[in-house]
Amino acid sequence: MEPTLTTVLPEKTKAVGTLVYEAFRDIAERHNFEPAFESPALAQLIVRLLAQTEGYESYLLVEDGRPLACNFGDERDEVIGVGPVAVAVGQQGRGLGRQVMEALLERAEQGGFASVRLLQAAYNIQSFALYHRLGFEVKDTLALLLGRPPADEEPRDRLREYTADDLEACDALHREVLGFGRRHDIEFMANMAPPVVVERDGELAGYLTRFPGEEVFLTHGAARDERALRDLIIGTAKAVPADLRFALPTSMAETLRWAIGAGFRLTELNTYMVRGEYEKPMGAWIPSPFY
């Protein structure tokens, strides 16, 4: 019997979350890296959140009622962000990952999205080969960092908490830096935890969103330059007591040197892959776990 393609319904989120946790743990441990999710509960929470968020499309392959592979696409803005993509342990080699990716790409073409983007663990050469065959190209390398800047390090420009009145300026800045807007994701993340914004000469020079937890994930941000981005990282650390975890494009070499020198730990490298339209960033930025 061929697996059936369906969506992640509420009653399936726990099982799918477990699948995601086990699949990411298996590939990470086989390469002596830390698992992407610290517990099954965290993976289940993220799957449940994605499955119930308007604007996310889910893809689930099931066989005899058992989940085999899953994928999620963030369709809230102008480009689609992909992930997490996972195939159940013991089910690799059946082309299941390709099936859930092809389903997403077909929908992206039908919907007229400008591009599809994802983050890929560099040690996972199987997924890299799959995405490359499907038309994705590497646009940057990302350094995954964990830690905090020194407590006595101060920003150079004015930092403050985001308000709803900043939404238009943040979206416009993201468009200026990366070539596309991110209005809905900014608004969504602001409902979870207040982003930090930086101002220079009376104008917004950057913003940074986050996902709260025992470790705070910096989920995405854009800034006019690396100085403003470093201010945002410093400001977020001052707003929360937990360690910060984020992906930093290695093309921003000055900020990467600062982070490593400040004590952030490099945990792994990822690739930033794009299928479709792409403009080279005209400023500094941090991607979300998906794009």
Kindly report, residue by residue over 235-277, the tens digit of the pLDDT: 999 999 999 999 999 999 999 999 999 999 999 999 999 999 9
Domain segments of the chain as ranges:
4-113, 145-268+281-286
pLDDT at residue 227 tops 80: yes
Question: Residue range 65-92: average pLDDT?
Answer: 96
Q: Confidence band (pLDDT; 50, 70, 90) for 214?
A: confident
Per-residue pLDDT, 225 = 98
Q: Confidence band (pLDDT; 50, 70, 90) for 212?
A: confident
Question: Residue range 20-31: average pLDDT?
Answer: 96
Q: Among 115, 118, 165, 126, which residue's Cα sits nearest to residue 271?
A: 118
Per-residue pLDDT, 72 = 98
pLDDT (tens digit per residue) in 43-73: 999 999 999 999 999 999 999 989 999 999 9
Write down the mean pLDDT value for the chain.
96
CATH of 145-268+281-286 given 3.40.718.10, 3.40.50.620, 3.40.50.1980, 3.40.630.30: 3.40.630.30
Question: Residue range 125-143: average pLDDT?
Answer: 97
Determine the residue type at 219: T
Determine the residue type at 213: G
Number of helical H runs and strand E runs in the chain: 8, 14
> 213 or 162: which carries more pLDDT confidence?
162
pLDDT at residue 77 tops 90: yes
Identical topology for domains 4-113 and 145-268+281-286: yes
CATH topology of domain 4-113: Aminopeptidase (3.40.630)
Distances (CA, A) of 282 to 128, 129, 153, 178, 207: 26, 29, 26, 7, 15
CB 18 within 8 A of CB 86: no
CB atoms near residue 122 (< 10 Å): 18
Per-residue pLDDT, 14 = 97
